[in-house]
Structure formats: structure tokens, C-alpha cells
Amino acid sequence: MTDHTMDALEVSFETQALGGPVVRPMLAGGGGGVSAGGGFEGFLRSGASVEMKAFTGVTGDAGGYAIPQEIDSVIDATLKAISPMRAICNVVRVGSAGYRKLVTTGGTPSGWAAETDARPGTATPVFTEIAPPMGELYANPSASQAMLDDAAFDVEAWLANEIALEFAKAEGSAFITGSGVSRPKGFLQATIAATTDATRAFGTLQYLASGAAGDFPTTPQDRLIDLVQALRAPYRQGAVFLMNATTLARIRKFKTSDGQFLWSPSLTGATPGTLLGYPVIESEDMPDIAANSLSIAFGNFKAGYLIAERRETAILRDPYTNKPFVNFYATKRIGGCVSNSEAIKLMKFAVS
């Protein structure tokens, strides 16, 4: 071996040790005699070729797994009809479940006297105690830890929002039709009578008959006006109509004898339309028009219905009780009842 050959080998080893290019044997057919189109020329001469499988996203093992799937991080959901009762009623925060409220009935009697006449004693006010029935609203959904870690959206925030919407729907229904057993007592569950405020017992709501069994009479505007005027003037300041969308759809078609609509549409979406000058609030928890149904309420709900809540919705994240699932235990203690039976009037769809 000549000195030049030894020098070349030393340079080659040094180059490899320093991380340089590695000298490898030349591939067969890679000699300098092959033209630039040697691969295609070899195929033409011998018919030989290297078998290649195409990558495609159609099937998973042929490349589909390598294509990332994009998922919308915002979850669309059907909107629940949330009751507006909390917005129109009197809401108070309480420190315990034993909340009580005192209401005076009849006011303080007084009398007239001349300058030198004797002043006999007058009667004292009468107190009535109101105790809204309380109940605890709860939800206890769960999600696996893997779901929380790997989901493309914020599962915890989504669950919290779902719970809040469901609680709002459940409590709104209870404020209208609740039985009062381990839940608020709805105003439609109160005792009703056709007598006026002067003769009706406290806690009993007054109703006005529509004049037709399960329907409006031939002149519905007359009965609606009677319903408004049955509410005394002090309560009409801030009064609203409450009904569901089906009932409102019928009322919006009513016209007076001169062709004017009873309904006045709102100029903006932020304010409700009016009926006989009073706002109309929609609540899907109000019943449809049927025989003896109480489908329309009119009144000052700030004065007439009391909502007492212990606190806001509390959500406890529990990753220990049911591993590998994480429980989201949500609770809310809330009560409600009629606080002033003179401030709410009902329309009963009956002859009398």
C-alpha cells in the first residue's frame, strides 16, 4: 500500500470521526455510465420497477391517521327557554333557610276630629307572616379525566354553563307552577277566587273569567281591559302581562272595531312589545289556553312575588370519589311564594 493510499484512509477515518460525510459503497446501477434518465431507461430495457404504495387519506393505515381532524372548539347547543321570572320579581338574598317576611294588611285606621274633640284610640295594623318554601336544586354530572385532558374544548366550562342554564330553566318553572314541596311555590298554585280585594282573604289571588269555555269571547279586548283595571292603580305602575308564546300569538291578531291592533310592537329588540300600554313578558312555563286554564297573568310581580335564595350556584369539583371520573356537584338553595296577593291578577278561560 503506497503512502498516498494510507494518507487517503487516514483522512477518511478522521472525517467520519468528526461527524463528516460517511463513505459508503455505491449502489448497484449507480455507475457513472448511466444517463440522467437511467431509472426510466432501465424500466424500458428490463421492465423492472420498485413497487410503491400510494399514501391517501381515505383509509387510516394508508395515511389517514397522519391527517389531523379539525374540530370546532365551540359546541353548538339548542337554546333552552329560560324563564324571565327572576328579572320581574323581587329577589332577596337570605342567610339561612328560615327566611320570614312580615306584611301589613289594611294599613293603619285613622279618624277625623274637631279641634277640641276627644281622640279615641284607633285600630292597630294587622301583620301577616310569609315564609317562602325552600328547596335545593342540584346536579351531579361527571366526566373522565382523560376526557378533560384530551377534549378539543374546555369541558369544565361547558359543564358549568350547561348546569347554569338548566338551573335557570328549573327554577323559572317552579316560580310559576311549583308545588311548594321541597321547591318554591308557584303563583299559579295559590288559592284563587273571583272576589275583589276588599272581600278576598289575604294570600288568595283574584281571577277574571274570559267569558267562554277554554277560549276568548267574541270581544276579547273587553276582558283584557277588565283584567287591567282589576289591578288597583298603585300596582299598575310597573305591571306587566305574563303569558306563553302560543297565547301571545293569538292576542297579537286581535283588532278593535276600527281595525287597530291591540298589540303594539317594540321598536327595538331590547324592549318588549306592549298590550294596552303594558309590557308583555313571554314565559313558556305559562299554560296554553284550555278549559279552566290560567293562561294570562297581569300584575306587579316586584310587589307580588318573592324569590329568596340562599346563595348563588355553588359547583364542587370532586376528582376523588369516583376515580377515574371527575364529578361536578352543583347546588343552589332557593325558595319563592306570593308575597302580596293583591298585586297579581289572573285570567281564567271559563264562562265564570
Encode pLDDT of 306-321 as tens digits: 999 887 778 888 899 8
Position 291 pLDDT exceeds 90: yes
Contact 299, 342 (CB under 8 A): no
Q: Which helix (H) or strand (E) holds 219?
A: none
State the cell numbers at 203. 294570600
DSSP string, 59-127: STTTTGGGSPPP--SSPP-PPP----HHHHSEEEE-SSS---EEEEES--------TTS-----PPPEE
- The answer regarding whether domain 85-107+123-348 maps to CATH 3.30.2400.10 reads yes
Amino acid found at 22 = V
State the cell numbers at 294. 290560567
Least confident stretch, 69-83, 115-129, 160-174, 295-309: 69-83
Nearest to 329 by CA among 312, 317, 313: 317
Predicted local confidence at residue 132, as pLDDT: 92
Which residue has 267574541 as its cell numbers?
A: 218
State the cell numbers at 59. 383509509
**Max CA distance (Å), the chain:** 150
Position 342 pLDDT exceeds 90: yes
Distance CA 281, CA 294 (A): 15
Distance CA 315, CA 262 (A): 46
The domains of the chain are located at: 85-107+123-348
The predicted-structure confidence for 17-46, as pLDDT tens digits, reads as follows: 555 555 665 555 555 554 555 555 555 555
Q: What is the mean pLDDT of the chain?
A: 82
The predicted-structure confidence for 134-149, as pLDDT tens digits, reads as follows: 999 998 888 888 888 8
Average pLDDT score over residue span 174-188: 95
Distance CA 344, CA 175 (A): 14
Average pLDDT score over residue span 293-316: 91
